[in-house]
Structure 1
């Protein structure tokens, strides 16, 4: 007679969960090794050894935290900025603009300045600072 609640001891170990884990680890390993091998090869241009002696006009446009615009430290509106950039481009077609947007500035104002530079076909760059400085 068998007593209820007694169970027969297992004579084999269920290895299915262990195999599932092994397969998952194998797939992750394969994906990670192929991802690290593949990539884009980019051929970077080499700078010329001769320094440029040309000096072109540079306008520094600052976007303050409140959204105010300043050109070389002088407050201006977006319309005044456009006039100033048009005049500067007439004087020097290779002039450029450096845009300094404050970290707390309204992003829309920075984009408006970038759009204006693109519209006037003026060379521009964004001024950043290193992290921690």
Structure 2
């Protein structure tokens, strides 16, 4: 048993408060890192001017270089995309949709998505590009 006399100095350090601080900092770092992740990364084609769409209820359709289609951040098939968009347009007939296609994908994949949007009578469509740097 380690009994301390009143006048003797401590020979060990209490590390519990330091560990508490380390764990709190670790949790804050994890939360901040996952909060900054937004959407799916794709290599966008370049354009000279990019109009901005600032509506919060805008749906984003992303097509990756591998051909995977995402609605917002969830991977979907064309059938699932059609069903989901039908449900959203039933609530909001003027649903704005933006299409982000990787510059390496085949043009047909974007045309298929645009054709689907046309069949669903979605007229507010935007194509996302990067600003051309001169």
What band does the TM-score fall into relative to the shorter chain? 0.5 to 0.7
Structure 1 residue 103: Cα displacement: 0.5
Instruction: Give the structure-2-normalised TM-score.
Output: 0.55
Instruction: Give the structure-1-normalised TM-score.
Output: 0.56
Unmatched runs of 5 consecutive residues or more in structure 1: 1-54
The one-character-per-residue Cα deviations of 1:65-89 (angstroms, maximum 9, x if unpaired) are 0111001111000000000110000
Q: Which runs of 4+ in 1 moved over 6 A?
A: none
- Give the corresponding residue for 1:131: 132
Structure 1 residue 56: Cα displacement: 6.6
How many equivalent residue pairs? 79
- Give the corresponding residue for 1:111: 111
Measured in 2, the distance between the counterparts of 1:102 and 1:131 equals 15
Structure 2 counterparts to residues 1-133 of structure 1, below 5 A: 57-122=57-122, 123-132=124-133
Measured in 1, the distance between the counterparts of 2:109 and 2:71 equals 14
For the aligned residue pairs, the C-alpha RMSD in angstroms reads: 1.7
Measured in 2, the distance between the counterparts of 1:66 and 1:60 equals 17
Unmatched runs of 5 consecutive residues or more in structure 2: 1-54
